[in-house]
Amino acid sequence: MSRFVVALTGGIASGKSAVERRFEALGIRAYDADVAARAVVEPGSEALAEVARVFGPEALDAGGALDRAGMRQRVFADPAARATLEGILHPRIRTWLREAVAADSGPYCILSIPLLVENLAHYDWVDRVLVVDAPESVRVERLVRRDGVDASLATTMIAAQASREARLAIADDVIVNDGNEAALDAAVAALDQRYRDLATRSTRPS
């Protein structure tokens, strides 16, 4: 694969989406694992049928779609169930992302992967890792406000992911998003120029 690829990651509620939007505003396509996760379980898909077989009909809502809220509560409370669900979804998500990258025609592209640390071995084909970092207290506050969960569940959701230290350990670049979104503009613009330069110098064969 000759496309220059930047993997964007960060803990839940770190501000990945805000960074992603800014790259897209600069003409860079961002392919989001969360979008892929929704696409692979559309009604009628093999993945949705497998989820229903494994987790039972209560995994679906009244319309036959995945009950996302119910499944999120279920898997965050049960690590084994989370591992099972990830085993169903993640291979299909990775295929979706690779196909999207292969079809991309920009100078480089972004892969937005929340669980990059946990699945790093499957993404050894990316060129660079960008981590969006924010203190846990800020992330808890955002989750409470954004998702309407209580602080206890928000803390549990954060703890279910890789640690902040583990994400920073794999980072080539870091954006600190501790509350002032306006500060993201300059940071993303600088990284965009760097990535365009690196992509130009990249000589990997197709």
pLDDT tens by residue, 110-145:
999 988 998 899 999 999 999 999 999 999 999 999
Q: Give Dmax over CA atoms of the chain in angstroms.
A: 52
Asked if 200 and 154 touch (Cβ cutoff 8 Å), the reply is: no
- 38-86 confidence digits (pLDDT tens): 999 999 999 999 999 999 999 999 899 999 989 988 898 899 999 999 9
The pTM score is 0.83
- For position 102, what pLDDT does the model report? 93
Q: Which domains does the chain have, with CATH numbers?
A: 1-29+107-206 (3.40.50.300), 37-103 (no CATH)
Residue 38's alpha-carbon distances to 48, 124, 148, in angstroms, are 10, 23, 21
